[in-house]
Amino acid sequence: MFAWDKEKNNVSKRQITVAHIVDTRNGPKYLKDQADIDNRIANVASKQMRGRIMALLPKALVEIGLRECRETIAGRSEASVSSNRAAMVRDFNSMGVTVSMLSKYLGHSVDECTSDDLVDLFGVSNAIRQGAKIKNYFEGAIQLEPSTTSLKNIKKEQ
């Protein structure tokens, strides 16, 4: 796998080996069907190619792209920062993360959250929902299963 920047004549190479195994909740599953193997190889190859391209991009350009992504996520919501802040606190409370833990993570009070802080917390929340450990982000947290809240529960909390 390689990417080549012809303008600066830089090359980024990486040799990859793809195991015909997929990790599942019940342990590793060996792939036998050729279509499954092809999909696995394409998946790994696309990630590696993206990595090679990112290795060649100037770091300033990557920073600009990340800033644009943050602005897009922050500006996506029509709701006010205070209502988004309250919703984020409820979301983290349902996962066992307290306001004091959020404040320690942010380095300031939750009441002082900016839209950038909310974007960061949104990313942490998504990571936890996708399987990341809460203790990787918050000290002293007890791992709870993320639950959905109904409108009845939200009204009771208020």
Q: DSSP label at 66?
A: H
pLDDT at 152: 46
- pTM metric for this prediction: 0.51
Going from the first residue of the chain to its last (158 residues), give the mean pLDDT of each consecutive group of 10, the final group possibly shorter: 88 91 91 95 93 91 88 68 86 89 90 86 87 83 51 47
Strand 10-13, strand 27-30: pairing: unpaired
Query: Could you write out the DSSP letters of every residue in 100-146?
Result: HHHHHHHTS-GGG--HHHHHHHHHHHHHHHTT--GGGTSTT------
As a whole number of angstroms, the distance between CA 150 and CA 131 comes to 22
Whether residue 41 contacts residue 47, with contact meaning beta carbons closer than 8 Å, is answered with: no
pLDDT score for 29 = 94
Model pLDDT, residue 142 = 59
Task: Say what the pLDDT of residue 82 is.
Answer: 81
